[in-house]
Each structure stands twice: as C-alpha cells, then as structure tokens.
A and B are shown apart, each in its own frame.
Chain A
Amino acid sequence: MGPLILLQEIIKLINPSTLFEVFWATLLGITVGMMPGLTATMGIALLTGLTFQWATGDAILILICMYVGAIYGGSRSAILINVPGTPAAAATVFDGYPLARSGRAGEAIGLATTASFLGSMIGLFFLSFFTPWLGSIALEFRSFEFFWLSLFGVIICGNLTAPKDPLKGWISGVLGLFLAMVGMDVIQAFPRYTGGSIELSGGLSLIPALVGLYGIPEVLSGLAESQIQEKAMQIKRVIPRMRDLWDNRKNIVRSGIIGVIIGAIPGVGENIASYVAYDFAQKGSKHPEKFGKGAEEGLIAAETANNACVGGAIIPVLALAVPGSPPAAVLMAAMWLHGMRPGPLLMLETPNYVYEVSAMFLIATLAMLVLGLSMVRTMVKVLNVRNSILMPIVFILCAIGSFAIAGRTFDILIMLIFGVIGYGIRKMDYADAPFILGLILGDMLDENLRRSLMLTSGAVMPLFTRPICIVLIALIVLTIVARNAHFKEMMSETRESVTKTLGFGRKKRP
C-alpha cells in the first residue's frame, strides 16, 4: 500500500504552480546554503514566518525545498572558496576544495550534486517506509516514555554536538529546557516567569527565538569580525562520470545509511552525519592517504550522508514529535504553527501525511538535482557578494520573518535577545543544537513528567520499570558515562583482554 499512496501523493504535486514553487524555493535554498553564514535552520525559520499566511501544504512544501536545497547548497562554497556554506558541508571542504584547486571544480560540484541526490533518495526510502513502522511503536509510548525520550534527546544531542566539552552541551540543553518553561504551563495554565507580560504568557515565540539564535550571530560575526572573502573559482564540466559513481556504490550506500541513522538521533544533525560518514569512508578506503588531498570518495561520503540525514531527521519529527536536527526542529515548529500535530497520533489521524511529506521531499530532491547540475556558473556569482552588504540585508529579513508570524514588534526583541544569547553560546563553545532541542522539547518534558506522576499519585517506580523506560534510561546513563575518561579506559582494557583471550584482533596496517 505504501508505495501506491506515495505515488498518488507525487502525482498530486505535479502541476505547474506547485512545480514553480518547488523550483524557486529549492533555488533559494541552494543560494542560502551557498552563502557562508546563512544556514538551513535560519533559512527555514525565515521562510516559516514569510509563508505563515499560506496554505499548510504549500508552506510545508516550500520549507522542505528550502531544507533540501540549503543542505546541498553548502557544498558549493565548500568546494569553491574553502568555506562551508552550512555546518553540514564542513566535511565537504576536506576533499572538495583540493579537487577544485586541482582544476576539477565543476567535476567536484557534479559529484557533490549527484551524491546529495543519492543520499536524499536513501533518506526518502527510510522516511517513507520506516516512519509508519516507528510510528506504530511510538503508539506504545505514554507520558513516562515521552519524559525519558525528551531527556534522552537533549542529553545525546549535548553529547554529540559538543564533543570537546559535553558538559557545556548538556548545560545548553537544560538551559533550553528551562527557557521553554517561560509562559503559561500546560496543565494549570499558571504563568511562569512572565513578569506580568502578556506577550510572554504564551511562552517564548519559537520562530523568532530560532531566527535570532541562528541568524543574528552570523550577522554579528559577518560584520564585526572582518574576514577575508575568497573569490569563487572558474567552473568547467559539471556532469559527473557514471563510472565514478559506480566505483563508489558501497561508499554511497554506507554513507546514506549512516546519514539516516544519525539523522534519526534527536537533534544531532547533518554536520555530525557527514563527519562520521567521511571517517568511515576513509577507514574503508583502499587509498586512505588520498583523503584530505582531493579524494572523490571523501567528497561523496560527506555529501551523501548530509543529505540522507535530512530524510532521517524528519523521521522522528513525524513519528515521535522529536526533531532529528536543528533544521528539522524548525520544520516541526512550522508544522505546529500550521495546525499539524506531528507525533504518534499522526499515524492514526492522518496516516497518509508521511507519504505526503515523502512526496514533497522527493520533488524537492529532483529539483535540487536539476538546479544543481544547471545554472552553476550563474549561481556561484552570489558568492562574490560582500558580507558588509549581505549581512545587513539578512538582518532585515530576520526582523521581518520574526515579525510576520504574530505581527508583534515584541517578537523582534525576542529575536535580538536570543541573537545575543546565540552569539555568546558560540563564542563560549556551548553547542546551539541542544539549546534549540531543549526549547522545543521543554513542554513535552514538563507535561509528561508531571502527568505521569499525577497518574501514579506520585509513585516514581513506573517511571523506572516500564520496558521502554528502562531502555531509554540505559541509553541516557550510557551516553553520560561514555564520556567519562575512566569508563573509556575500562572499555579499552576490556576490549584488549577479550581480544587476547579469544586470540583474534585486527592486524595493524604496515
């Protein structure tokens, strides 16, 4: 049934006006992704405000196009000017730029485009056919499980997005959870920490906060920290050779699956996916020494994984109402704004919605491929726009995007405050992804913790003894303990002793 419904949803989208919307939104996404400093999260947050008055289907379609386009678009600047357009393209720089320097810029763009397309298709497969299955499991979730799930999301996100200092990642996540408490609480409608402000009684507006967190620090860095902007390189052949892709078939499938898995982990996101896939590609390569010097395998792995991650990140949004990445968090907030209720009940209330989103994702992916392989020379000219002109315009767009949702100038103030917080978070090595995830999941955590305790008249045992709760608690403990130096040492000693006892082990490379 699934593939048939998907096909029906695709057919529904094939009409001139929808295709026009798909193409301009994907093109805008690629442009946003290309511009260093403008991220997918910011692009989606901005467009959420600007498309707020639109029909739900059209608005979500445009946001998905922006998401797919922007994650791919980051590879352009990574390849051409050695600066990742979005964090998702950070691993693309390692081999994309050396390829471009060796005179193969067009080829690198072609490979990145095709790898992104194939990655997206792998993501699409899992999004379409794995989400309903996960959704059916999620139907078993009650308040107890949702409490632990939201806590697990913040902790694992803090752990993985702040690898240098997980403590700061966790602080960032808990701070986000706490700020989500501002406004009327969901059970007794008591206004918390509002200071009597009517504007704050509905809570901190999510989209202005997200626009601020992602947009303002970029504007501040772009204007205050003078950076030398490199000129984009010349481009020749763009269409990739089929043989290059065929030779990388295992790499593509592996990186795509890595991307989907990492995407499905709450809040972790495309940048981690591309790093992990790159690392796996290097370890599995016959020529690991070529990595970092223009290896096609590295470029393909990074680009396949980051776009596969997009599909993966939407899976928990639809099945659990827990975003898999910061851009997916904004997408989820946009769905809420448009009256959609992603989460386990979605499968019961509107079971076809997963396929509707999948169809949108597929159309956006196709548009990305077409636009990615054409108009390359024209589009890279955008990279030559100076920050001192671009960034003030970005600020204006951020202000309009924040204002548009509720028509309140107060939301612009929220955006500015969160912008300053976001700048501080970055400068002091606190990861921003857990903060955002905390903001999004705060209500879920609060409501479900209190509701579950109210259901059991204050008995805490059910919180620790239900099977899914036990799994989630074990994962939380493992996530925290795994960063402990003593634990790492202990694990490595255990591994060595097991290897010696059983008499096998990896042979070291000469």
Chain B
Amino acid sequence: MDEKQMAKADFVTAIVMIVAGIIILAFTLSFPRFAEWGGIYSNPGFTPFLLVLALVGMYIYLLFRSLKRGGNQIRITGERVGKFFRTPMVKRYFICLGLFVLYYLFLGRIPFILDTSLYLFFSILIFGGGKWLKALVISVATSFAVYLVFLRIFLVPLP
C-alpha cells in the first residue's frame, strides 16, 4: 500500500474502531459491580474499560492524522468496487478463504481423509500446483500420510 492508500485505509479503520470502541465501552459499563471486593477498581470491567479507552484515544489520533494526509478522499462507486473484486489477487484471496471455510465446515461431518484430500486437491489445482492427476496423487497421499503420522506417531486426535 502506498501512503495515500494507507491514509484511506487508516481513515476507514479508525472510524470502524472508534464506533466499535464506544459500543464496547458502553457494554463494559453494564458489567456487574462486586462492591464487597472493593471500589470501582475491583470490577471485572475496570481494566478492559481503560484499555478500550486507550484504544479509542489512539484511533482518534490516527483519524486526525489520516485526515491530514487526505485519507477522507474516498470515492466509492459500483465500478470501483467491481474493479477491486475483479483483481486477480483479490479473487485468489477470496477463493483461498472460501476453501478454508469449506474445509472447516465439512470437518467432522465427512471423514477427515476425504475432507483433507478434497481441500488439497482443489487448492493445488486452483493455485497452479499441477494438473489434476498430479493434484489428486499429492492430495490423497498427503492426507493418508498426515492421518497416519499424527494419529500413530504424535498420538494427536484428529477431527
């Protein structure tokens, strides 16, 4: 990210975090007070309140700094958003994340070896690790190897 892009990213992050911080501060105030343990300092919300307050303060500073650097000059149009999502890197990023989530969702629902083989097969195939036969051999062999090594040598329970 160049400086201009960073300023814009800082601007958006700062706003999101300030709003989230204020919500968390309000929520923290609703924590119960254990009067028998002492004053306000003994409350379970005491330290988190101070930490979030510090975070909000730092993000306010970041917000002003990003404003100085022109971080508020953001123009969101449908065309720009579409262009962003069509970037190969962003596409690959979301495919990668999608595969992670699918692997997680199927874990425990289908056998571990099958889930792992499917994840590896599609990942290797999509990200250019080889043609389908090579991807299939690597994914199945790796899944079996992982299953045996971790279950037998490391005695790790698998999902």
- With the chains together, A407 CA to B1 CA distance in Å? 39
B residues in contact with A399, CB < 8 Å: 103-104, 107
Q: Which of A181, A223, A412, A428 contacts B127 (CB 8 A)?
A: A223
Contact assessment for B52 and A219 in the assembled complex, using a CB-CB cutoff below 8 Å: no
A residues in contact with B46, CB < 8 Å: 449-450
- With the chains together, A223 CA to B90 CA distance in Å? 11
Q: Which of A49, A220, A458 contacts B97 (CB 8 A)?
A: A220
A residues in contact with B48, CB < 8 Å: 178, 181, 192-193, 446
B residues in contact with A228, CB < 8 Å: none
Contact assessment for B92 and A428 in the assembled complex, using a CB-CB cutoff below 8 Å: no
Given A395-B119, A458-B41, 11 more contacts at CB 8 Å?
A190-B44, A192-B45, A193-B24, A224-B96, A391-B123, A400-B146, A400-B150, A400-B158, A445-B47, A458-B38, A458-B39
Within 8 A of A (CB), among B1-49: 1, 6, 9-10, 13, 24, 27, 31-32, 34, 37-42, 44-48
A453 at the interface (CB under 8 A from B): yes
Contact assessment for A188 and B37 in the assembled complex, using a CB-CB cutoff below 8 Å: yes
Contact sample, A vs B, 28 pairs, CB 8 Å cutoff: A54-B155, A171-B55, A171-B62, A178-B51, A181-B47, A181-B48, A219-B96, A224-B89, A225-B89, A226-B88, A388-B127, A391-B127, A392-B119, A395-B103, A396-B119, A396-B142, A399-B103, A400-B146, A400-B150, A403-B158, A404-B150, A404-B156, A420-B97, A428-B10, A454-B38, A457-B38, A458-B38, A458-B41
Nearest chain B CB to A171 CB, angstrom units: 5
B74 at the interface (CB under 8 A from A): no
A50 at the interface (CB under 8 A from B): yes
B59's nearest neighbour on chain A, judged by CB, is A171
A residues in contact with B59, CB < 8 Å: 171
Contact assessment for B37 and A187 in the assembled complex, using a CB-CB cutoff below 8 Å: yes
Contact assessment for A175 and B55 in the assembled complex, using a CB-CB cutoff below 8 Å: yes
Nearest chain B CB to A61 CB, angstrom units: 15
Contact assessment for A409 and B156 in the assembled complex, using a CB-CB cutoff below 8 Å: no
- With the chains together, A2 CA to B34 CA distance in Å? 48
B residues in contact with A192, CB < 8 Å: 31, 44-45, 48
- With the chains together, A498 CA to B40 CA distance in Å? 49
B residues in contact with A49, CB < 8 Å: 156
Nearest chain A CB to B94 CB, angstrom units: 9
A residues in contact with B92, CB < 8 Å: 223-226
- With the chains together, A397 CA to B154 CA distance in Å? 12
B residues in contact with A241, CB < 8 Å: none
The 9 closest A-B pairs by CB, nearest first: A388-B129, A392-B123, A453-B41, A224-B93, A190-B44, A388-B127, A224-B92, A446-B47, A185-B44
Within 8 A of B (CB), among A190-226: 190, 192-193, 216, 219-220, 223-226
Contact assessment for A174 and B116 in the assembled complex, using a CB-CB cutoff below 8 Å: no
- With the chains together, A391 CA to B138 CA distance in Å? 13
A386 at the interface (CB under 8 A from B): yes
A416 at the interface (CB under 8 A from B): yes
A167 at the interface (CB under 8 A from B): yes
A427 at the interface (CB under 8 A from B): yes
When each residue 125-136 of chain B gets 1 if its CB lies under 8 Å from chain A and 0 otherwise, what string results? 001111000000
B interface with A by C-beta (< 8 Å): 1, 6, 9-10, 13, 24, 27, 31-32, 34, 37-42, 44-48, 51-52, 54-55, 58-59, 61-62, 65, 88-89, 92-93, 96-97, 100-101, 103-104, 107-108, 116, 119-120, 123-124, 127-130, 138, 142, 146, 150, 154-159
A413 at the interface (CB under 8 A from B): yes
Contact assessment for A223 and B55 in the assembled complex, using a CB-CB cutoff below 8 Å: no
Contact assessment for A53 and B154 in the assembled complex, using a CB-CB cutoff below 8 Å: yes
Within 8 A of B (CB), among A393-424: 393, 395-397, 399-400, 403-404, 407, 409, 412-413, 416, 419-420
Nearest chain B CB to A86 CB, angstrom units: 22
B residues in contact with A226, CB < 8 Å: 88-89, 92
A51 at the interface (CB under 8 A from B): yes
Contact assessment for B100 and A416 in the assembled complex, using a CB-CB cutoff below 8 Å: yes
Contact assessment for B54 and A416 in the assembled complex, using a CB-CB cutoff below 8 Å: no
Nearest chain B CB to A425 CB, angstrom units: 11
- With the chains together, A171 CA to B154 CA distance in Å? 38
